[in-house]
Amino acid sequence: MRRLGLLTLCFTVAHAALAGASVSIIASTPPEETAFAFSITAALLVELLYRRLGVEREVISMCTFSFSSAIAMIAVYMAPSVTLTSETASLILWGSVLAVTPAKIVLLVFLVVSLAVYVLSFKLEIDSLLFDVKLAEAEGVNVTLHATILILLTAMAISIILKLTGGFLVFSLLFNPVVAVERLSYRRQPLLGALVGGLSGLLGVVVSYFFDTPVGATISMMASIMLILGVTSSSLLEYHRTRRMKTYVST
């Protein structure tokens, strides 16, 4: 994601989903469907402007992020006070483990299977993208297509887990696991990132259950701890590797 410059876009998609969920409060529309529509629209809009105008994706993403955040805050401000204290608003903003339903589990399993099939089917193309975008384009890889697919899958995941983690905390599950394993292993980064994200979610739910804390915030805290541990481990490994190299050179 970082090599493709998509982390900022993921951040934007997450807040677009929050904006959609917030708008659903005053529009009386289904929160998840509205969040999904907003996130997909934001992702496609950023990619379209990036390809058509040639402006950096990060610049367009941050502009869209600011606009989405403003929409979310305005929608929350305009919502009646009775609605803001309801269970729906609480789930959208902060998340709850009670939002997990059999239908959501089925959707998440379908999403995981779809992602696995996609990654296995286009492994060479994805590896080329992660190594160097320009080189991948020179080799004939359809960068636009694969970047769009990754963003659409991300948008689907965000809209599905929005009520579980909460709109304010969902980005931590997109960013922290990736950065935690980034310097540990390049070849196994996707697998390790998924494992760290899953472990963060599991630990967050368990800790939330035993200490009666908000599940979204607890999952985010676990993901942050995983990030700290991952970065610390990679730094220590790099330090020992450098010392070993210096020792070898000096002898």
Q: For the chain of 251 residues, list the mean pLDDT of each consecutive stretch of 10.
A: 62 80 82 82 83 77 85 79 54 66 83 86 80 77 80 76 70 78 69 83 86 80 88 82 75 63
Position 56 scores a pLDDT of 76
Q: What is the pTM of this model?
A: 0.67
Q: Report the candidate in 248, 109, 93, 111 with the shortest Cα–Cα distance to residue 170.
A: 93
Angle between helices 170-181 and 215-250 (to 10 degrees): 10
For the domain made up of 1-166, the CATH class stated in words is: mainly alpha
CB 36 within 8 A of CB 159: yes
Q: Report the candidate in 87, 15, 91 with the shortest Cα–Cα distance to residue 46.
A: 15
Question: CATH 1.10.3470.10 occupies which residues in the chain?
Answer: 1-166
Position 167 scores a pLDDT of 65
Position 84 scores a pLDDT of 52
Position 7 scores a pLDDT of 65
